[in-house]
Amino acid sequence: MLLWLGSKLLDATAGMVAATTYMVLAASPSMLGLTGHATHFCAFFATAGLCLMFKARQKESPGLIAAFALCFGTAVLMKQHAAVIAAWAGLTYAAGKFCDRTTPLAVRAGKVLLCAGAMLLPFGLCCLWLWHAGVFGQILVLDHPIREGVCDRRAVKLCGTVLLAYVQFYS
């Protein structure tokens, strides 16, 4: 995917350099590249989202718009740091749509709303799944580790602030 994306954005040499660099870094023991963790899934979905976003900006297909947004939303589920990348992608797409004066405003707004809804869908489905399992309320109780003596009150407060910011960001 990096080879294709680099080739489309710059040229074939840039695509080859990007793909080779990622391959070398991903295989490096100092980067923990051979251990399976969430960063691999996050990088996969973020890169797939970028490739699909590139295609969606050219073809304007609702399926491609939903697909790239779903990829970025899934990347956020894998690792919350991807929210920055997803926000960048969403804002970039929205800015591109609202700067385009050739299509009616309702059509542009519909595509931006489709993008936003598809980006929120993985998080929403995860919350729905947790609610259906009956454990969603336990996640929202942030003082449980304090009552059990597991962690410091300041750490829980920080986690609560991050969770609220995350929910407000996607609301």
Average pLDDT over residues 136-162: 57
Q: What is the pLDDT of residue 86?
A: 93
Using alpha carbons, select from 23, 121, 131, 25 the residue that is nearest to residue 76. 121
Asked if the model's pLDDT at residue 90 lies above 90, the reply is yes
Q: What is the pLDDT of residue 38?
A: 76
Q: Do 59 and 89 share a structural domain?
A: yes
Residue with tokens 């969603």: 136
Domain count, the chain: 2
Q: What is the mean pLDDT of the chain?
A: 81
Establish if 132 belongs to a structural domain.
Answer: no
Runs of H (alpha helix) within 60-133: 62-78, 82-99, 105-133
- The answer to whether 54 and 87 are in contact (CB under 8 A) is no
Establish if 57 belongs to a structural domain.
Answer: yes
Q: What is the pLDDT of residue 167?
A: 58
Q: Do 59 and 25 share a structural domain?
A: no
Q: Do 56 and 25 share a structural domain?
A: no
pLDDT (tens digit per residue) in 59-78: 889 999 999 999 999 999 88
**Looking at per-residue confidence, does 39 or 118 come out higher?**
118
Q: What is the pLDDT of residue 116?
A: 95
Q: Do 97 and 41 share a structural domain?
A: yes
Q: What is the pLDDT of residue 159?
A: 57
Q: Do 71 and 2 share a structural domain?
A: no
Residue with tokens 């929202």: 140
Establish if 74 belongs to a structural domain.
Answer: yes
Average pLDDT over residues 125-146: 72
Instruction: Show the tokens assigned to 158.
Output: 């920080």
Establish if 128 belongs to a structural domain.
Answer: no
pLDDT (tens digit per residue) in 15-42: 888 888 888 877 877 777 667 677 778 8
Asked if the model's pLDDT at residue 146 lies above 80, the reply is no
pLDDT (tens digit per residue) in 93-107: 999 888 888 889 999
Q: Do 40 and 23 share a structural domain?
A: no
Range of the domain at 30: 1-35
Asked if the model's pLDDT at residue 141 lies above 70, the reply is no
